[in-house]
């Protein structure tokens, strides 16, 4: 069980069946007409017992029947990974950023002490972050795919819920370029990051 689970929830004492999703900084439960969003910063207490995750905020109580995953979810709420950690960025990792990137993300890369490079031909990014928006972004995915080599990961960051460029467009462009999609991460409340790599047999 990863960061999504179909489960029985108790919302302020009322039982509801639905799906819980654990995001970077919040937990969301959807079941029938019920939708609960709990931001980690608002959590007063969180515990795991008897296969249940029990969360209290100032305004409400939420219990999720997650089984063995309850303890893992508790740990993720108490000690959430930073965005760059979720994207695999470590100290000294050579990264390249293209497109209209968030200033906040670039600052996070610097704070993580990653090495930001600008010339892929010089050898050297181990991870490439490509920000795309609109149909023109598909062409940029194809261009970027020609520059990555070996085990370099290409992260395509695109807006959620937009007709101009969808997950299908991003996946189609990456696969058409001969890349393999291996991971998806919630980049922010408005964007998703999808990772591509060159298949092992083609490196």
What's the pLDDT at 24?
77
What's the pLDDT at 120?
65
What's the pLDDT at 2?
57
What's the pLDDT at 1?
41
What's the pLDDT at 35?
92
What's the pLDDT at 36?
94
Q: Compute the average pLDDT of residues 18-43.
A: 91
**What DSSP character marks residue 102?**
-
User: CA-based diameter of the chain, in Å?
Assistant: 60
CB atoms within 10 A of CB 180: 13
Q: Compute the average pLDDT of residues 186-191.
A: 87
Q: Could you read off the pLDDT of 148-174 as tens digits, one per residue?
A: 888 999 999 999 888 888 999 999 999
pTM for this predicted structure: 0.72
Q: Could you read off the pLDDT of 64-88 as tens digits, one per residue?
A: 999 999 999 999 999 888 899 989 9
Rounded to whole angstroms, how far apart are CA atoms 34 and 18?
A: 9
- Coil/strand/helix, residue 164: coil
Q: Compute the average pLDDT of residues 167-183.
A: 94
Rounded to whole angstroms, how far apart are CA atoms 85 and 66?
A: 25
What's the pLDDT at 162?
87
Q: Which residues contact 142 (CB under 8 A, 6 or more apart)?
A: 173, 176, 177
**Strand 115-116 versus strand 94-98 pairing type:** parallel
- How confident is residue 32, by pLDDT bands cut at 50, 70 and 90? confident
Domains, in order of start, for the chain: 4-78 (2.30.29.30), 83-202 (3.40.50.150)
């Amino acid at each position: 069980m990863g960061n999504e689970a179909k489960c029985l929830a108790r919302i302020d004492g009322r039982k509801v069946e639905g799906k819980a999703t654990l995001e970077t900084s919040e937990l969301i439960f959807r079941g029938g007409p019920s939708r609960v969003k709990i931001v980690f910063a608002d959590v007063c207490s969180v515990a795991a017992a008897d296969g249940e995750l029990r969360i209290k905020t100032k305004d409400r109580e939420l219990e999720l029947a997650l089984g063995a995953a309850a303890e893992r979810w508790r740990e993720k709420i108490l000690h959430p990974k930073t965005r760059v950690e979720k994207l695999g960025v470590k100290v000294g990792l050579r990264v390249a950023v293209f497109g209209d990137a968030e200033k906040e993300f670039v600052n996070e890369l610097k704070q993580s002490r990653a090495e930001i490079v600008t010339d892929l031909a010089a050898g050297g990014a181990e991870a490439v972050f490509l920000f795309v928006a609109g149909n023109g972004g598909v062409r940029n995915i194809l261009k970027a795919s020609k520059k990555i080599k070996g085990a370099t990961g290409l992260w395509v960051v695109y807006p959620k819920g937009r007709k101009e460029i969808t997950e299908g467009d991003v996946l189609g462009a990456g696969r058409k370029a001969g890349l393999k999609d291996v991971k998806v991460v919630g980049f922010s409340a408005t964007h998703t990051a999808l990772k591509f790599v060159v298949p092992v047999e083609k490196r």
